[in-house]
Amino acid sequence: MKASHIPGLPAINVLNGTKVGDVERAYLDPVERRIVGFAISTSGGFLQPERGVLADTIEVQALGEAALTLLNSAPQGAETTRRYDELVDLAALQGREIFSVSGILLGHLADADLDERLLTLSAIDVSPHASHHPREIPVAQIVTWGPEVMVVQTAEPTTT
């Protein structure tokens, strides 16, 4: 699954079949390279403001191509809240410059590939120019997730 497909997915409570809200963000642990939680916007209903909730992955039944299914209608997101400062908003990575350890600018992050079953990052798609097709770099080759750039092991990413 492409990371860009996550925002906007409906978040559904599998126990009672209600829509909790819509996924706004996925939070990634850059060390473990896995999704830790999701931010979900909820409509408040009649005379109630919209609000947001966090759902830890332990509160998630599944991430599918059409919805994020939750184990209850009131996720707590305690782990995501506790670790918030060390997590990365997956969508915020888009457009980040990607350099090789040898100092070659490989391009910009176009998207990321996720294993939706394990909620782990498997690869990043790097686009050298807007007119070129992205090239895939396996997540194992990522050396650094800096606040401004990413550094990868190879100068020759595999093509997709």
- The CATH number of whichever domain residue 132 belongs to comes to 2.30.30.240
Residues 55 and 105 in one domain: no
- The per-residue pLDDT for 158 is 46
Domains in the chain: how many in total? 2
> Could you tell me if 29 and 102 lie in one domain?
no
User: Is the separation of the CB atoms in 98 and 106 below 8 Å?
Assistant: yes
What is the structure's pLDDT at 160?
Answer: 46
Residues 103 and 84 in one domain: no
Q: Which long-range contacts (CB under 8 A, 24 or more apart) does 126-135 make?
A: 126/98, 126/157, 132/107, 133/159, 133/160, 134/107, 134/110, 134/160, 135/106, 135/107, 135/159, 135/160
Considering the domain architecture, whether residues 73 and 123 belong to the same structural domain is answered as no
Q: Model's pTM, two decimal places?
A: 0.85
Domain residues for the domain of 36 are 3-89
Q: What is the pLDDT along the chain (160 residues), one digit of tens a residue?
A: 999 999 999 999 999 999 999 999 999 999 899 999 999 998 655 554 456 899 999 999 999 999 999 998 889 999 999 999 999 999 888 899 999 999 999 999 999 999 999 999 999 999 987 666 889 999 999 999 888 899 999 755 444 4
